[in-house]
């Protein structure tokens, strides 16, 4: 016993000594390495700037900016501190750096108190707004939305809105904000393991922005890890006729896919089968009740006391059982309910075509078992409709993600309307897309010559059925004392639709000349390298809508475009034509997009000077399959001895090889013409044989030809 105690003490002392030795020796135990987060780079970069270590700060901030998926405001902050570092190192290059990095928009988001940077930010902002490439920004905004970067897309739309205040981008901005909100909600639900609601939102986002990798990744995970296993389990029980066991799996799948027709049909079958089983059970209960009643009657007729006591006890039990079963049957729920939720909320709810007067979220009660149609409607969103199954005593849950309705635009038959002084003229208006609901549009005078006014068509109504039918707007120019061609801007506007402006030009009596070029559309031919192109030409009408004569010129800058006329004179009220045509130089251009701007100039007074854009799109020609023909021997020939097999093969991009087969056996691979093969027919038996040639082009497309010949070599082979 004492030896055991001493041994324990010695062991403890040894461990203490070992620990002291390790510490004294300065031994460093291995530590788990932690990877710096991108936020750490930003923090360290700011700290390095504050202590004057500019080079280190620049390195850290550049590493932070290179990280993917940064919030715009954080990236802006990083660019802001980069600019301060560059200012400390080389002040002369700060402005150039900012202009090259204008997409960081730090001067839009950082409230700078420093006077120098505040002034610099104002200058850079002004230059940025002057040089911003509107077309590419619009394209990049659409691309950003498609890949799910709603914050970046919304930013670009806001910048363009500031650049072009006359145009409305509120709908696009709201669309980005709503999508960002739904995405954040979906990701939050996903993190909370609420996969049903998350999946519905994510699936709608994936449809709206198919390039969103983050959303697609989560959709794929939910489908493979959650939905598909439930479908497989439900299908297994369903196929084995275990309907009660299959129901919960199918119901769970419907929380992810409420409009999955296959699952809805199977669930309907399950409930129908379970209903038959329930009916049979109730019939059995009813039969049992009858037997119990008869038993009670019979026992009353018995005279023997002991047996009577026993039977009366049994009868009492039977009666009690009868009433319990009856009570249970009477208390069985006859109806179910439907819980309806949506994103966004406040959507109107219809049940089987009838307006319930309710909005989401809501619970519809006392619903008869079976299939019912639920429809949701909200202004600005497409209607949502789905068939749901209701079971007595149960609540069916429906969660719907509403999709923003496409934003229609106003379409007019012209951009400029010439209205004679003292007379009238009309233009036509329609919508580019079917609206979610009726659109009430107004045509109003905005600015310019007040003598021009709308006399009819100032209020237009576009419905879901007549949206693509032109409606007329009539303008009138009253007579005045001046001799100028006055201009006015009329605006077509409606809630939720970008405004459309029309220029009205008064053709003044006795006024100076005014050049009008029609049509308003540009020249946009397309084709493949070498031609042809369609259309190959476009004719414009040059009209002097004023009274005084004018001299005009038309000019272009590229050598692949020809003008039918480049100058001339038009007296008041006369017109001429100029045709733009593609010439032979266009046939020599490689695949790509080529543009030019054609100027139509009023050299006399400048009135009506305008431009038209020419955009030539050339694509590479399609790579057609090759063609191949066996020219010798011909089909049905009789051959003997050594025969020359001759093959002709052609392709628009070139032949890579030709293979020759005798009776399905490869005998030759020819890489260059002439494609010939010397066939020794004495090596095969007399009779019918096939020769086949397969040609391959440079894209591995193939073509083949085959002939049958009769080999007849006397005395050699039989």
pLDDT tens digit sequence for 568-627:
999 888 999 999 999 999 999 998 999 999 999 999 888 888 889 999 999 887 778 999
Beta bridge partner(s), residue 570: 550
pLDDT of 717: 46
Its domain, for residue 538, covers 515-619
End-to-end CA distance of the chain: 108
Per-residue 3-state assignment (H helix, E strand, C coil) for 175-210: HHHHHHHHHHHHHHHHHCCCHHHHHHHHHHHHHHCC
What single DSSP character describes residue 483? -
- pLDDT confidence of 31, banded at 50, 70, 90? very low
Q: Which two tokens stand for residue 602?
A: 């009023």
- pLDDT confidence of 705, banded at 50, 70, 90? very high
Instruction: Give the domain-ending residue among 478, 507, 536.
Output: 507
* Three-state DSSP state, 331: coil
pLDDT tens digit sequence for 327-361:
445 556 788 999 998 888 889 999 998 999 899 98
Which range in 172-186, 300-314, 672-686 is most confidently predicted, on average pLDDT?
672-686
The answer to whether residue 314 scores a pLDDT higher than 80 is no
Instruction: Give the domain-ending residue among 589, 619, 649.
Output: 619
Mean pLDDT of 288-294: 57
Residue 47 sits in the same domain as residue 183: yes
Classify residue 335 as exposed, middle or buried by CB count within 10 Å of its CB (0-12, 13-18, 19+): middle
Closest by CA to 697, choosing from 647, 637, 657, is: 657
Residue 2 resides in a domain: no
Under a CB-based contact definition with an 8 Å cutoff, are residues 418 and 290 in contact?
A: no
Residue 117 resides in a domain: yes
Residue 437 sits in the same domain as residue 577: no
pLDDT of 681: 92
**What are the strands, taking DSSP E only, across 233-335?**
none
Residue 394 sits in the same domain as residue 418: no
Instruction: Give the domain-ending residue among 592, 619, 646.
Output: 619
Residue 43 sits in the same domain as residue 183: yes
Residue 153 sits in the same domain as residue 171: yes
pLDDT tens digit sequence for 413-423:
888 888 877 78
Which range, of 155-164, 523-532, 657-666, averages the lowest pLDDT?
A: 155-164
Residue 686 resides in a domain: yes
pLDDT tens digit sequence for 630-655:
999 999 999 999 999 999 999 988 89
pLDDT tens digit sequence for 512-523:
788 888 888 899
pLDDT of 101: 56
pLDDT of 382: 80
Residue 418 sits in the same domain as residue 500: yes
Residue 482 sits in the same domain as residue 344: no
Residues in contact with 241: Cβ distance below 8 Å, sequence separation at least 6, in sequence order? 273
Residue 525 sits in the same domain as residue 663: no
- pLDDT confidence of 202, banded at 50, 70, 90? confident
Chain centroid offset of residue 336 CA: 38
pLDDT of 109: 45
pLDDT of 384: 87
Which range in 146-155, 263-272, 366-375 is most confidently predicted, on average pLDDT?
366-375
**Domain tally, the chain:** 5
Residue 150 resides in a domain: yes
pLDDT of 7: 52
Residue with tokens 């839009």: 108
Could you check whether the bond before residue 535 is cis, i.e. omega within 30 degrees of 0?
A: yes
The answer to whether residue 431 scores a pLDDT higher than 80 is yes
Residue 608 sits in the same domain as residue 639: no
Residue 24 resides in a domain: no
pLDDT tens digit sequence for 442-452:
999 988 888 89
pLDDT tens digit sequence for 225-279:
888 888 888 888 888 888 888 888 888 888 787 777 888 888 888 877 877 665 5
Q: Across the chain, what does the average pLDDT equal?
A: 80
The answer to whether residue 159 scores a pLDDT higher than 90 is no
Q: Which two tokens stand for residue 386?
A: 């789905």
Residue 377 belongs to a domain with what CATH number?
2.60.40.1120
The answer to whether residue 12 scores a pLDDT higher than 70 is no
Residue 132 resides in a domain: yes
Which range, of 200-209, 284-293, 327-336, 343-352, averages the lowest pLDDT?
A: 284-293
pLDDT tens digit sequence for 50-61:
888 888 888 888
Residue 169 sits in the same domain as residue 47: yes
Residue 445 sits in the same domain as residue 496: yes
Residue 678 belongs to a domain with what CATH number?
2.60.40.10
Residue 187 sits in the same domain as residue 69: yes
Residue 331 resides in a domain: no
Chain centroid offset of residue 208 CA: 4
pLDDT tens digit sequence for 88-119:
776 655 655 665 555 444 444 444 445 555 55
Residue 385 resides in a domain: yes
């Amino acid at each position: 016993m004492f030896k055991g105690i001493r041994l324990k003490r010695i062991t403890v002392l040894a461990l203490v000594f070992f620990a002291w030795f390790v510490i004294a020796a300065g031994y460093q135990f291995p530590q788990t390495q932690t990877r710096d987060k991108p936020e750490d780079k930003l923090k360290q970069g700011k700290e390095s700037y504050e202590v004057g270590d500019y080079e280190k700060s620049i390195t850290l901030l550049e590493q932070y900016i290179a990280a993917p998926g940064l919030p715009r405001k954080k990236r802006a902050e990083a660019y802001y501190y980069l600019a301060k570092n560059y200012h400390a190192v080389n002040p002369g290059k700060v402005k150039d750096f900012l202009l090259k990095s204008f997409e960081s928009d730090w001067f839009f988001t950082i409230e700078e108190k420093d006077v120098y940077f505040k002034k610099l930010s104002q200058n850079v902002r002004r230059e940025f707004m002057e040089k911003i490439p509107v077309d590419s920004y619009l394209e990049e905004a659409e691309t950003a939305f498609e890949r799910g970067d709603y914050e970046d897309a919304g930013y670009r739309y806001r910048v363009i809105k500031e650049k072009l205040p006359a145009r409305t981008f509120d709908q696009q901005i709201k669309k980005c904000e709503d999508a960002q909100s739904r995405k954040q909600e979906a990701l939050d639900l996903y993190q909370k393991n609420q996969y049903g609601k998350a999946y519905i939102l994510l699936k709608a986002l994936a449809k709206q922005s198919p390039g969103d990798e983050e959303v697609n990744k989560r959709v794929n995970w939910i489908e493979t890890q959650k939905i598909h296993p439930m479908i497989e389990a439900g299908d297994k029980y369903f196929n084995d006729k275990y309907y009660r066991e299959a129901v919960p799996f199918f119901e769970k799948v419907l929380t992810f896919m409420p409009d999955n027709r296959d699952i809805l049909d199977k669930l309907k079958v399950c409930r129908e089968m379970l209903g038959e089983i329930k009916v049979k059970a109730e019939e059995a209960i009813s039969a049992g009740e009858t037997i119990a009643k008869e038993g009670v009657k019979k026992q009353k007729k018995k005279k023997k006391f002991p047996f009577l006591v026993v039977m009366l006890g049994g009868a009492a039990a039977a009666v009690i059982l009868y009433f319990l079963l009856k009570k249970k049957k009477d208390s069985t729920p006859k109806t179910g309910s439907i819980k309806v939720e949506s994103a966004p909320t406040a959507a109107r709810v219809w049940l089987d075509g009838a307006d319930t007067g309710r909005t989401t979220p809501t619970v519809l009660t006392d619903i008869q078992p079976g299939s019912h149609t639920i429809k949701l409607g909200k202004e600005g969103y497409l209607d949502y409709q789905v068939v749901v199954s209701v079971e007595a005593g149960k609540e069916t849950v429906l969660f719907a993600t509403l999709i923003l309705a496409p934003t229609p635009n106003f379409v007019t038959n012209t951009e400029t309307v010439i209205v004679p002084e003292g007379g009238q003229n009309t233009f036509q208006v329609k919508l580019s897309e079917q609206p979610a609901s009726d659109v009430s549009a107004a045509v109003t005078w905005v600015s310019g010559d007040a003598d021009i006014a709308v006399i009819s068509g100032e209020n237009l109504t576009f419905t879901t059925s007549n949206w693509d039918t032109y409606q007329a707007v009539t303008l009138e120019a009253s007579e005045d004392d001046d001799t100028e061609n006055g201009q006015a801007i009329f605006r077509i506007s409606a809630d939720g639709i970008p405004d459309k402006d029309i220029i009205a030009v008064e053709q003044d009596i006795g006024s100076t000349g005014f050049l009008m070029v029609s049509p308003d559309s540009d020249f946009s031919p397309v084709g493949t390298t070498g031609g042809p192109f369609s259309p190959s030409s476009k004719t414009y009408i040059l009209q002097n809508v004023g009274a005084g004569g004018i001299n005009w010129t038309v000019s272009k800058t590229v050598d692949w475009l020809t003008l039918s006329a480049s100058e001339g004179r038009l007296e008041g009220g006369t017109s001429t034509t100029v045709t733009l045509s593609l010439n032979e130089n266009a046939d020599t251009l490689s695949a790509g997009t080529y543009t030019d701007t054609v100027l139509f100039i009023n050299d006399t007074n400048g009135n009506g000077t305008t431009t038209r854009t020419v955009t030539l799109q050339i694509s590479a020609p399609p790579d057609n399959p090759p063609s191949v023909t066996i020219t010798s021997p011909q089909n049905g020939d009789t051959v003997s001895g050594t025969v020359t097999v001759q093959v002709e093969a052609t392709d628009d991009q070139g032949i890579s090889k030709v293979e020759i087969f005798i009776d399905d056996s490869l005998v030759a691979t020819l890489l260059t013409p002439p494609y010939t093969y010397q066939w020794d027919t004495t090596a095969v038996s007399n009779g019918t044989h096939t020769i086949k040639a397969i040609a391959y082009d440079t894209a591995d497309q193939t073509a083949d030809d085959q002939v049958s010949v009769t080999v007849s070599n006397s005395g050699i082979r039989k």
